[in-house]
Structure formats: C-alpha cells, structure tokens
Amino acid sequence: SEQIQDEYYNVGNRLKVLLKEIERGQRGPQLILSRGSEEFVTRLFEQEVPELESGAVEIKGIAREAGRRTKIAVFSSVPGVDPVGTFVGGHGTRVRAVMNEIGEQEKIDIVVYNDDPVEYIKGAISPAEVVRVDIQKGDEKRAKVLVEEDQQSIAIGRGGQNVRIASRLTGYELDIETVQKEKPKPRKNIEDSLLSAVEEAAE
C-alpha cells in the first residue's frame, strides 16, 4: 500500500524511502517505509530546494496519486521570489531530480497557493484554462469550474484524475462544466476606421 503504483523492486536496488513509522509488536519493531505517500514527495523537494529551510518559500498543500500525478501548492511571502520557479529550478533541474526518483510516469504540477479560493482553484485545475469559478453558497465546500469545450477533457483528466487531485488539494468539491466559446468580434478594416474618423471630424 506504500509503494508507487506499478513499481517493482529487485534485490540490490538502491532506493530512497520515507521512514513513515515504527510499529512495535510481539515479533519486535517493524519499520513502515513509504514511497507512495505525499510526505515522501515533500521530503524529496526539501532535499532539492534549500529555500524551504530558509523560509523563503513554503509548501502550502500537496495531493498525490502515486505513480500517476502530484499537485503541489507553493507560496512565498518574500518580495521578488517566484515560488514556482524556485521549485522547478534552472532548466527544470530541481523538479527533474524529484521525478527521476519517483518515476517519469508521474506528472508533477506546481501551482501558486492563493488565499482567494477562486484563484487557487484556477491554478489547481491546470493545465486546463479556466473561464470562471463559481463558489457555491452554503456550508458545503463546492465550486463550479467553467471551461471551454476544448478544455473539458484536460480539466477532468484521464479517469477524472486531474479534477480529483485538484479537489483534494484545494479542499473543494469541483464540478467541471463547459461554456460556449466566444466568437471573436469582427475586426473593422482600416478603410472603415478612417472613414469613421473623417465623419467624426466633420461633425
């Protein structure tokens, strides 16, 4: 249950693991090791991002389906510090180091944490582009996420994975709905614009 999905181990493999807990039973202590937990990814980033220790950036939330996708919300209160860029690293070196450990098949989305739930949800549902987020009134934390038709499958993700992890990250139950794509307004050609300007001047 603590393994990364579809991951196999052989004798002699060198692996990083999280020591999750120590269970003491009649047979003596048992070490519970994890590679599939959210905290494992957090610890890997702590090794790659020294700014976490200094407090320049922080992890506000993380949601993970091991072996498939991880979404991590990051934040910085230091002016001029780009939290996403800090975690990605130059040429993607930092996030690449984490992906090398957990496997290339697991995607990592790094989004900016925001106290405004609307903006937070917009970021969490990435890589889909969001038209609007409507927070539902009432005690239940639920929101309607409106996207254009060509973004629906991206917002939902394979097997509902993207919206499911975004819901866990934000703490809101997210409903994806589509809106019609707005047709661009016809552009006036330059002759029409000049005629309009001449007529206005004549008046």
The C-alpha atoms of residue 195 and residue 200 are separated, in whole angstroms, by 9
Kindly tell me if the per-residue pLDDT of 197 is higher than 70.
no
DSSP letter for 25, please. Answer: E
Contact 22, 29 (CB under 8 A): yes
H/E element holding 48?
Answer: helix 38-48
pLDDT the model gives residue 96: 96
Kindly tell me if the per-residue pLDDT of 134 is higher than 80.
yes
The C-alpha atoms of residue 12 and residue 41 are separated, in whole angstroms, by 23
Residues 6+ apart with CB under 8 A from 58: 52, 74, 75, 76
Kindly tell me if the per-residue pLDDT of 198 is higher than 80.
no
Contact 121, 153 (CB under 8 A): no
Residue carrying structure tokens 């910085």: 76
Q: Tens of pLDDT along 36-86?
A: 999 999 999 999 999 999 999 999 999 999 999 999 999 999 999 999 999
Contact 31, 124 (CB under 8 A): no
The C-alpha atoms of residue 97 and residue 43 are separated, in whole angstroms, by 12
H/E element holding 75?
Answer: strand 69-75
Q: What is the pTM of this model?
A: 0.83
Kindly tell me if the per-residue pLDDT of 191 is higher than 80.
no
- The per-residue pLDDT of the chain, averaged, comes to 91
